[in-house]
Homo-oligomer: A and B are copies of this chain.
């Protein structure tokens, strides 16, 4: 070990709006040694995801909120550096809930999954495409959205970690992917490298007309990450029996304790459409199957990806806001340490 201390961001106050460093205590704890049935992990890459913002609030949610005083929860990749648990061997690379800290002590209640073996992929790629965000894209589009060849799939936050994968899987399945994103640079990435059929910048004055023109036959599937005006605009273009895959509502996450994100249901009624919420954890039994297929696509060059990597655990709170500022492209993560 390089260090005998474990730096940790512990949740101090629940943010109502934008997250700041002041919402956390940045503490240093002595590094414990694993007891029987435990393993000690060195955290390497921490994933930053919009859903982390939900965990900071005490609203009713799909997992228990992070308790005040606890280490902030986060997914990532780590390496086993000491083990008294036969499931983990020193040197193993694993993925799971590591938290905003330098080291993680494993907990019997949480399973840390070994990284998929035999794939010639670097760790950021594995975390982004084979981790929670890639899996969210995979199951959300294929299981909840049920895309059929020839359909038009509109994706909001399309240049994000989830959206960029959703659009490419849609294209692989014979659909037309249309992305909504927040800059012309991101639009160019989507329609260029990623092969989206079209992309519109919601900061352009005429974006609603552009979206309509990009969907001349209407929208079969909306993969929704944002909510608010963006969702209502897509809803106005829904086809009969369209499906809205409700993955996230990021436009509401910094809007105070009583987080709410309202959407017009009149088009849902008129078009006999469906809105369905989902959480990737519901598909945990099938993660390995999905990772195998995503891995194949990656190796075949069919899934392009980009990462925005911030160096240093100490920068996590500021890095986190890049999710809300649109100030990054692809998958956002923090590099904490190199593997040994």
Contacts and interface: CB of A to CB of B under 8 A. Distances in A.
Interface stretch (A80-88, A273-281, A305-313): A273-281
Contact of A260 (B231, B260, B266): B266
Interface string A248-280: 110010000001111111111111111111110
Interface in A60-117: 60-62
Nearest to A62: B270
B248 A269 contact: yes
A289 interface: no
Q: How big is chain A's contact interface, by range?
A: 20 to 34
A274 to B, nearest CB: 5
A259 B266 contact: yes
B277 A271 contact: yes
Contacts of A282: 272
A131 interface: no
Nearest to A63: B270
A227 interface: yes
A246 interface: yes
Contacts of A62: 270-272
Given A249-B265, A261-B265, A265-B262, A275 B274 contact: yes
Contact of A246 (B59, B61, B236, B269): B269
Contacts of A249: 265-266, 269
B260 A261 contact: no
A246 B268 contact: yes
Contacts of A227: 265
Interface of A: 59-62, 227, 231, 236, 246-249, 252, 259-279, 282
Given A227-B265, A261-B265, 14 more contacts: A60-B236, A60-B267, A61-B270, A62-B270, A246-B265, A246-B268, A260-B266, A263-B263, A269-B277, A270-B277, A271-B277, A272-B277, A274-B276, A274-B277
14 contacts: A60-B270, A62-B270, A62-B271, A246-B269, A249-B266, A252-B266, A262-B262, A263-B263, A270-B277, A272-B276, A272-B277, A272-B282, A274-B276, A275-B276
